[in-house]
Structure 1
């Protein structure tokens, strides 16, 4: 398999300038992904306010600015261009410093694991959107999501390992 042949074969239908109409599954997958991305951003904004570890706070901010927002913006622009109404989101949460007692909030390990899980869910749903897309431009959006979230997830995993927050399953012995 030659990667350049695969890329060419996927974009060849668009070389003649004709773009197929967006199908209902593609529209629904993009719409739902955007709605969940907005919710993930709000949750991670709250987590930012609760996190005590500076590097974790930096990761949460970086996830918002370099992962979630660019993805959301691209999908919003695409849906609007295709005349698909956007999901109703909630306003961003302001950055603040809260001092809640331990046990009444997520601790840093729980925040990091939730962030990691959210990245995994985003990658998984994007893979589904990629496999269900007919249009190459829709597939490309989901492909970019997978790459962006996978690369960012690797840096989150590294931080979790450094802090001892990574949960390991026991070794398998036959």
Structure 2
């Protein structure tokens, strides 16, 4: 195949949906790094801190890759957020602290939303490299989501939606 959409995907132009998806992913990741670093200051649980570290590492990778892709295509990325200073948990007043359960619920919800956002970019992408990049992010977020779910169950932090305890009996016709 030849033409504007043939050959090396990196030589193809990005369409406006791809641009917005990549730019949004970078911007959201920058906000996540800032927020998750603050959560690290509030978190007391070792397992939660470990997952927050993994989420920060993933967000920083996404920022680097998305900003490079934008820059390579002549598009300015959103500015980075200022770096948060480290604070000791004991220095945060009790009424101002996020509880570990609150942090865990928030990162679970944000990871689930990230899966949907990745799927949207994958679905609208016509450049194979963009679709593959967000497929990679999707797979990583799915794995992190499972770690968060397992942790929330293990720690007793999961607040499930209403459960169907008693199932209706099947009616035979």
Q: Same fold (TM over 0.5)?
A: yes
Structure 1 residue ranges (4+ consecutive) displaced by more than 4 angstroms after TM superposition: none
> For the pair shown, which has the larger CA radius of gyration, 1 or 2?
2
Please, what is the CA RMSD of the aligned residues?
1.6
Give the distance between the partners of 2:133 and 2:8, measured in 1 at CA. 19
Specify whether residues 136 and 102 from structure 1 end up closer, same or farther in structure 2 by C-alpha distance, changes over 3 A only.
same
1:22 maps to: 14
Give CA deviations for 1:5-35 in whole Å, capped at 9, x if unaligned.
xxxxxxxx76x33632111111011001110
Give the distance between the partners of 2:122 and 2:132, measured in 1 at CA. 8
Q: 1:39 aligns with which of 31, 34, 42?
A: 31
Q: When the two structures are superposed, what TM-score results if normalisation uses the length of structure 1? A: 0.85
Is 1:86 the counterpart of 2:86 in the alignment?
Answer: no
Higher relative contact order by CA 8 Å / sep ≥ 6: 1 or 2? 1
Give CA deviations for 1:105-137 in whole Å, capped at 9, x if unaligned.
210000011111111111111111111111111
User: Structure 2 stretches of 5 or more lacking a match?
Assistant: 169-173
Shift of 1:159: 1.0
Shift of 1:95: 2.4
Give CA deviations for 1:50-87 in whole Å, capped at 9, x if unaligned.
0111111121112212x111121111111111111011
Shift of 1:170: 2.6
Alignment of 1:1-174 (within 5 A): 16-17=7-8, 19-65=11-57, 67-99=58-90, 100-172=92-164, 173-174=167-168
